[in-house]
Structure 1
């Protein structure tokens, strides 16, 4: 039946719908910062991985390690709803090739070549002892979840190193590898050959010397997005992204996404989820077990919805759970709130992080209330009745610049820490309005000069009776 169905749809779907499954899946809720389990209850080991949609199924490939962190297998699971994962195969194992018997295999990604009708896996290979090999490697299979045949490992053109990597297939079928080169200093984009099993040419090296790794490349509305992390070993750091209208560039400078540790995770992949209501984009990250005193197989998964304030900007908000409807193509954050708009009494405008920026030091101002995540705030208790006020779009804190105690000091967002210049008390002023008083200075959050205009700056000022120091908390 499979072969008859595949032939029937080959001309329409360019031979990519190789497995026909259920027509749709019911909405599900997944919980973040957990170890996912498969349909037998066993832990899903697909770390540093990627997802390929084939027919009705999403196939998730990733790292499965031995207790000493060396390579055991590239394992593959499948699901229709992105929650209920069926283990399918150890697609590549230590016995697949002699050079895999003692090795490290990281960041496996699989794409389909509609000309050769092969599924092609690329990965980062090391010798199992250190990170001096820094080679790319390739394996191929006739079926998406079959046994992959080892093709070998090699360095990119000019002999540069290849470490963290991902794959991307463009609309015209051209395939690319994006990999950390020059001992992680550069992030290079290579076009692959027609078979997708080797290099054709280097097409871009947009961020030389910036030490980026964990790349994820996706395309939305004609815009290419590159999402990556910095290099800090197993410890999480600030993810950043850039955009371009051509994969060869020019690319923009990197901009921050999410909070300072990307909620304790590192990018592995961005998955488009297309359905009847449109396409959503899902951030897939690992919270590495090594950063918590364990091993790779102790790692947890952090999956979050990417949102797009404009066609060339993204936000990466935190939610403890996600509701995913693959049939509709919708992804919704669940929990973590309540979230508030902070609305100035004198102007009726919302406390807003300028331009949806996730950067440290981004200006906080007032702006007409528009429902954006950069106007939503959640409160986290500290001590003594004080709270941190956290921007939902960035996960960063409302902060008095440089911990100044002076009138007129700028209020901005900054990565959350233990400073009292990020701690605020809500003093009841009656009728549902509050003054926000900074713990370090005893001064009030204030709209400068009592401006009623969009863009009026937020500062701290000696507390008084002005309505430009009074805010209501409107639950989102």
Structure 2
């Protein structure tokens, strides 16, 4: 066969391809995501500035993107959409569509849909969504599981119907795909008294068998199941409506084997959140960090579901079968490295005269909530502070539980002005200078007024207000800072 020299157009195409390959990942679509900072107790916004409504949701990774599915409600808390978002770095979330809505099927016209979770079935090439279905946002009598499917991760999902698994009630729900490809669904059953674990059919759209009834009678909901180092972990919350409570977890070496008793995770309020999902963040070099994804429900703060905030925290494993979780107002995520870490160096601040700690009253996260003194308690994140240097020898003082900063209300210059928590920034009234006050104490002086952080009326009582007052050398203006 006679060989022809390449034509100029073909040669140009080859050279263009070679040049592009030499450039490698210089284009933004191919660049590895840089580490990002995620601020807790906030709502994410998409690039258009709109809130990300993915409450009670779950995440699945497909190729280089994470896809987040969750609840998007009407103002009266009734179901409107299951919305889908995607991100490469877990901070910047692009809206992809309302993949399930009231218009998807007549059964959904008046239904309430909660806690959607999406799985991928390698054998069928289908994405399968499981969710909790009720007749309305106020009547939880149906207690049904529901299924929808799609051939693309963020396409429209086709409704397959709802049912009670093997006749059992089914409310809060999660899914899990094991390393051998077996699919499982976990749901709260028997009026939330028990957790049932079901093995799914080969196509993940039906129930094959119930393989566990866990912690019977202990009233658990909000399950999240994951596997690490051959150990299965199941994280759940108590059943206290919208109010936060003590999360717990159990472990097993086999889903169908013997599970451990429940152990506590986080503090007694789980930092004001409830489990939605646990996401393995898998780095390219083999490092994996497990990310707790929780909802701080707006309903617990006088709002609605769509007012809810997100609480994301790294999980730690003291041993192969134990789990712990600390709170951080901010975390840094590197999806490239598979790392999630909290930010902050935490201290307590103890009044010299009373031995009580600076404390955010009632664990409040509200703007303008007052600061008080209260009996010091180990692990109370509303008594933990981060002294952030801002130059010229001054600091901002961040409260760990809320991520807000210690400030003199309205930057008042007056004696007796309340000390409160406010959104951290450059506003006057938030910066403080420390001055030595005896061998073990210090004074904290508000930069704008030159007045001292003070316990009102030299009180020894729990609940006494923190104020600013003209510095006078009193022990109620002396503080001991202790690192955690």
What is the match of residue 175 of structure 1?
183
Please, which of 215, 237, 250 is the counterpart of residue 242 of structure 1? 250
* Matching residue within 338, 343, 347 for 1:329: 338
Which residue does the alignment assign to 1:36?
44
In the alignment, structure 1 residue 148 sits paired with structure 2 residue 153:
no
| Residues 1:285 and 2:294 aligned together | yes
Superposition deviation, residue 430 in structure 1: 5.0
> Residues 10-58 of structure 1, C-alpha deviation per residue, up to 9 Å, x if partnerless?
xxxxxxxxxx963521111111111111111100000000000111100
| SS of equivalent residue, structure 1 residue 225 | strand
Q: TM-score, normalised by structure 2?
A: 0.69
Distance 1:260 1:381 in 2: 16
Q: Residues 427-446 of structure 1: CA distance to partner in whole angstroms, max 9, x if unpaired?
A: x99589xxxxxx799xxxxx
Question: Is 1:57–2:75 an aligned residue pair?
Answer: no
Q: Distance in 2 between matches of 1:179 and 1:135?
A: 10
Which residue of structure 1 lines up, in the alignment, with residue 20 of structure 2? none
Cα deviation, 1:160-208, whole Å, max 9, x if unaligned, reads: 1000000000000000000001111110100000010010000011211
In structure 2, how many angstroms separate the alpha carbons of the residues matched to 1:202 and 1:74? 27
Give the structure 2 partner of residue 306 of structure 1: 315
User: For 1:360-411, what per-residue CA distance to the aligned partner results, in whole angstroms no more than 9, with x for missing partners?
Assistant: xxxxxxxxxxxxxxxxxx974789995654545x85999xxxxxxxxxxxxx
Matched, 1:318 2:336: no
| Matched residue SS, 1:89 | strand
Aligned to 2:94: 86
- Which residue of 86, 100, 105 corresponds with 1:97? 105
1:229–1:240 Cα contact (<8 Å) kept: yes
C-alpha displacement of 1:70: 1.1
> What's the offset of the Cα at 1:69?
1.1
> Structure 1 residues 429 and 247 mapped into 2: Cα distance closer, same or farther (>3 Å)?
farther
Report the counterpart of residue 80 of structure 2 in structure 1. Answer: 72
Contact 1:25 / 1:81 at 8 angstroms: preserved in 2?
A: yes
Separation (CA, whole Å) in 2 of partners of 1:24 and 1:391: 40
The whole-number CA distance in structure 2 between the counterparts of 1:220 and 1:300 is: 27
Offset at residue 249 of structure 1 (A) = 2.4
Mapped contact 1:206–1:249 kept (Cα < 8 A): no
What is the CA–CA distance in structure 2 between the aligned matches of 1:127 and 1:317, rounded to whole Å?
Answer: 37
Residue 314 (structure 1) shift: 1.1
Q: Which residue in the other structure is 1:295 paired with?
A: 304
CA deviations 1:292-351 (Å, max 9, x no partner) are 11111111111111111111111111111111111111111113x4248xxxxxxxxxxx
Question: Partners of 1:384 and 1:63 in 2: how far apart?
Answer: 35
Q: Deviations over 1:77-99 (max 9, x none)?
A: 00011100000010111111001
Alpha-carbon distance in structure 1 between the residues aligned to 2:242 and 2:383: 25
CA contact (8 A) 2:360 2:382 kept: no
Q: 1:197 to 1:319 in 2, by over 3 A?
A: same
SS of the residue corresponding to residue 215 of structure 2 reads coil
Q: How many residues of Structure 1 are paired with residues of Structure 2 in the alignment?
A: 357
Q: Does 1:48 align with 2:74?
A: no
In structure 2, the gaps of 5 or more residues are 1-27, 349-356, 362-369, 385-436, 442-459, 463-479
| Alignment CA distance shift 1:327-1:257 (3 Å) | same
CA distance in 1, matches of 2:36, 2:191: 41
Q: Is 2:188 the counterpart of 1:213?
A: no
- Asked if the contact 2:360/2:383 (under 8 Å) is kept, the reply is no
Distance (whole Å) between structure 2 residues aligned to residue 389 and residue 168 of structure 1: 41
Q: What TM-score results when the alignment is normalised by the length of structure 1?
A: 0.70
CA spacing shift, 1:22–1:161, aligned 2, 3 Å: farther
Give distance in 2, aligned partners of 1:395 and 1:225.
25
Q: Which has the larger radius of gyration?
A: 2
RMSD across aligned positions (CA): 2.9
1:297 aligns to what SS in structure 2?
A: helix
Q: 1:131 aligns with which of 137, 140, 144?
A: 140
